């Protein structure tokens, strides 16, 4: 057995053991820990920024790309946001012990289905140091023990943030292993962590597509993952140009780099050419490249001709593919074929059209007359999210503390035995 | 590409296509199909029994073990039970379109979380031909397309039963691919099916431990599985000998071969030796072997001494390991360490003890004063089950039609865009 394997097994055992201690804690205890973490982050913001400065310098010395460096950066504003998130999570309703269902059977057995923590969650993330705190806070809220494994580019920031969590736990006299952390950047730790099925109940990978695919394919532990967001907006003919422009521009350009950004616009063929021109021109004026199918190009010659590949491309950039469709039926067919099942929006004032869309479209989040950029745990009222799931099992869409739970059945009898 | 791979991709595409047709069907349509399947099974019972006879003869010619042959056998009584199950599932409440949650946000967006089918489910099973019908019925009830792949030992029975399903679908004019079936016994089909992640949303393996482990480790599709059932009964000192005897005998011996059978009995050390003797003697008189720890052996010398291995062994036989514990705390610690997280029962009249057990014990099903053999979808009121999940994600315990669903969010706006 390698030293790394031995070390990861020890961490797994510690985490499993800590999950027993976690069970003793009340909702108030867990809130108190979260409030104390926010205090320690506030008190140590200089240390955190200093550590972050070191990561940024290292990254620059290694000539990392500027988007990568940007993701690393913490500043006072980001630390304030981090503190606010933790305090928000501290005040959320406890997701544990919720009664999901209750019934009894004719033989007198009575059933209660209640929420409980999943147990131990391995969280593997890349370059955003805020994940260290967000993930720890969501796991504490939901009674789970996280094993955090951040990217090597922000090891100093992560370590400084983790130190605040550790100090907040000891300060209140709780087991420091309620939040576990892998402080070694050797990649072998990730390979071993995703096979630690004896101790770990769930793996959540966060980062680029290739990292996530590689983890989910090699893990012997169930994973909860976000692959990609090929999101659509359908612009129906029964909808005003004014509102369409407002929503489409927001859905594409508010932040083109997020997974909830619209990548394909489907336009009803009966919308007049002037309106189509106006909306596409407005996008172009704001720096957006338009890739249109042949029909769209006829209306709007500045469009680049879209290829088959465009319909399944997540640009994450100021690029929009646009296709003309006969009706909501064709739009839905296109979406169900090319979408990644993340988020779609239908812009229409026809109740028949929205009913068809809601019934037949198969994605996790379906919006009526609103921007796809609302695909976000905060916007859903979940307090914070650990990511957006494009899986179908366990949870779809934004993953908040309430989704990091499972359930157990409590069955109360009166000395019943099962007949032959 | 091998011929088998080509064939399985075609089946996957057909199933995916059929899931679009399935979406058009109402709950009544799906009930009507189920009732028609039961009619076709009734009308063709001779053909089914004839096909089954052929499987039994083949199995005997191949000298298959007698438990294996027994699992193959269909008779009129089993066919009647199959028909009753299908009719029961036909009459169940529709698990689709259920509103799981509803809320709105201050910006006026209103949210609805509703149940929808998972999509396409690959079901890989061994020698029980009834699974062909049970699985198809549960999938139809929940709007999913099954791809059924049964064991080669019962290919004739499965084909005959599948023919009834096909005839029932055509008879009503529905797409026959609403239920898909792999009629080729080549093992490569299983290897390809579990990697068909483009078309299949879930794999449910049913059968022996090694089959299930191999499938879940090699599948690129999420699996829902039952590994094993190391179930415990804790006999507290505040509980009568009479009731203890009744429940423990039932929990172990009603059907020792099922996953909900108790494998380990934990006995409170303050129970008097006469009571312990009586209960263990009663088990022995009914053919049960007792494996006890040292303390138990002192009270009951006929016990064989248990080894460390016994505490994590699923006997599925008339064997019971018995350990003496100090209190519910030690009992729970033992259970959380050795249990497979399936089902545990606590026999006590102390509310403090049962509260401790319900709070601290981590398994899917916790019973108070009832036999562990109640771990069953029918007994839970789920109509029928496709198995019992020992996973923690998505669903734990008995898996009924209602658990073969996921959800989507329907978000209704009023032309909202997301602020910067």
Structure-block tokens of residue A246? 């407002």
Q: How far apart are the first and last CA of chain A?
A: 49
Q: How far apart are CA A358 and CA A335, in angstroms?
A: 12
**Contact (CB, 8 A) for B394 and A393:** yes
Residue A390, min C-alpha distance to chain B (Å): 11
What CATH number labels B3-224+399-410?
3.40.605.10
Closest CB from A220, A222, A374 relative to B217? A220
Structure-block tokens of residue A252? 């594409």
Chain B residues with CB under 8 Å of A412 CB are: 367-370
**Contact (CB, 8 A) for B273 and B386:** no
CB atoms within 10 A of CB A141: 29
- pLDDT 10s digits, B249-287: 999 999 999 999 999 999 999 999 999 999 999 999 999
Residue B393, min C-alpha distance to chain A (Å): 6
**Contact (CB, 8 A) for A338 and A359:** no
| 3-class secondary-structure state, position A418 | coil
Say whether A370 and B109 touch across the interface (CB within 8 A). Answer: yes
Burial A323-337 (b: 16+ CB within 10 A, else e): bbbeebebbbebbbe
Supply the pTM of this predicted model. Answer: 0.94
- pLDDT 10s digits, A5-19: 999 999 999 999 999
Cite the residue boundaries of each domain of chain A with CATH code 3.40.605.10: 3-224+399-410
Q: What are phi and psi of A146, to 5 degrees?
A: -85, 145
Say whether B254 and A23 touch across the interface (CB within 8 A). Answer: no
In A, minimum Cα distance to B347 occurs at: A415
Q: Is A17 exposed, middle or buried (0-12, 13-18, 19+ CB in 10 A)?
A: middle
Cite the residue boundaries of each domain of chain B with CATH code 3.40.309.10: 231-374
Q: Name the β-bridge partners of B321.
A: B264, B291
Reported confidence tier of residue B146, pLDDT bands at 50, 70, 90 = very high
Q: How far apart are CA B290 and CA B322, in angstroms?
A: 7
Say whether B416 and A217 touch across the interface (CB within 8 A). Answer: no
Q: How far apart are CA A282 and CA A288, in angstroms?
A: 9
Residues near A404 by beta carbon (within 8 Å), at least 6 away in sequence: A95, A117, A118, A121, A138, A139, A142, A144, A202, A386
CATH number of the domain at B231-374, out of 3.40.309.10, 3.40.190.10, 3.40.50.300, 3.20.20.70? 3.40.309.10
- ipTM metric: 0.95
Closest CB from A119, A369, A413 relative to B370? A413
In A, minimum Cα distance to B214 occurs at: A220
Closest CB from A243, A371, A396 relative to B406? A396
Please count the residue pairs, one from chain A and one from chain B, whose beta carbons lie less than 8 angstroms apart: 179
Q: How far apart are CA B175 and CA B4, in angstroms?
A: 24
Closest CB from A381, A397, A410 relative to B358? A410
- Per-residue confidence in pLDDT tens, chain A, 420 aa: 789 999 999 999 999 999 999 999 999 999 999 999 999 999 999 999 999 999 999 999 999 888 888 889 999 999 999 999 999 999 999 999 999 999 999 999 999 999 999 999 999 998 889 999 999 999 999 999 999 999 999 999 999 999 999 999 999 999 999 999 999 989 999 999 999 999 999 999 998 888 999 998 899 999 999 989 999 999 999 999 999 999 999 999 999 999 999 999 999 999 999 999 999 999 999 999 999 999 999 999 999 999 999 999 999 999 999 999 999 999 999 999 999 999 999 999 999 999 999 999 999 999 999 999 999 999 999 988 999 999 999 999 999 999 999 999 999 999 999 998
Cite the residue boundaries of each domain of chain A with CATH code 3.40.309.10: 231-378
CATH fold group of domain A231-378: Aldehyde Dehydrogenase; Chain A, domain 2 (3.40.309)
H-only helix segments in A119-240: 130-141, 155-171, 188-193, 209-218
Say whether B370 and A246 touch across the interface (CB within 8 A). Answer: no
**Contact (CB, 8 A) for A123 and A132:** no
Q: Name the β-bridge partners of B347.
A: B235
H-only helix segments in A220-350: 241-253, 273-285, 294-299, 328-338
């Amino acid at each position: 057995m390698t030293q790394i394997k031995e070390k990861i097994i020890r961490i797994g055992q510690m985490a499993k053991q800590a999950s027993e201690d976690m069970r003793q804690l009340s909702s108030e205890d867990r809130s108190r820990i979260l409030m104390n973490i926010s205090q320690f982050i506030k008190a140590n913001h200089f240390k955190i920024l200093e550590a972050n400065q070191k990561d940024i310098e290292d990254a620059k010395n290694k000539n990392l790309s500027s988007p990568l460096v940007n993701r690393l950066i913490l500043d006072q504003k980001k630390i304030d946001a981090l503190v606010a998130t933790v305090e928000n999570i501290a005040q959320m309703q406890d997701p544990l012990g919720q009664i999901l269902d209750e019934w009894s059977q004719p033989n007198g057995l009575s059933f209660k289905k209640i929420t409980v923590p999943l147990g131990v969650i391995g969280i593997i993330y890349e370059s955003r140091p805020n994940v260290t705190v967000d993930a720890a806070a969501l796991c504490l809220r939901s009674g789970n023990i996280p094993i955090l494994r951040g990217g090597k580019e922000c090891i100093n920031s992560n370590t400084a943030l983790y130190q605040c969590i550790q100090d907040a736990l000891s300060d209140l006299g709780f087991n420091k292993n309620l939040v576990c952390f892998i402080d070694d950047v050797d990649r072998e730790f990730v390979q071993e962590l995703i096979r630690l099925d004896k101790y770990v109940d769930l793996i959540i990978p966060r980062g680029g597509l290739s990292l996530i695919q590689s983890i989910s394919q090699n893990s012997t532990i169930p994973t909860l993952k976000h692959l990609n967001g090929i999101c659509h907006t359908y612009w129906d003919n029964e909808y005003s140009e004014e509102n369409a422009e407002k929503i489409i521009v927001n859905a594409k350009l508010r932040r083109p780099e997020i997974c909830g950004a619209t990548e394909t616009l489907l336009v009803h063929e009966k919308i007049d050419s002037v309106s189509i021109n106006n909306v596409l021109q407005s996008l172009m004026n704001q720096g957006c490249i338009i890739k249109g199918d042949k029909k769209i190009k006829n209306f709007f010659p500045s469009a680049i001709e879209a290829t088959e590949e465009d319909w399944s491309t997540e640009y994450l950039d100021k690029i929009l593919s646009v296709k003309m469709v006969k009706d909501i039926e064709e739009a839905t067919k296109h979406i169900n074929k090319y979408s990644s099942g993340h988020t779609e929006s239908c812009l229409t004032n026809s109740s028949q059209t929205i009913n068809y869309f809601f019934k037949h479209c198969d994605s996790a989040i379906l919006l009526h007359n609103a921007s796809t950029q609302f695909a976000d745990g905060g916007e859903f009222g979940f307090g914070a999210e650990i990511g957006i799931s494009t899986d179908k099992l366990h949870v779809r869409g934004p993953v908040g503390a309430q989704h990091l739970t499972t359930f157990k059945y409590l069955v109360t009898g009166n000395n019943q035995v099962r007949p032959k």
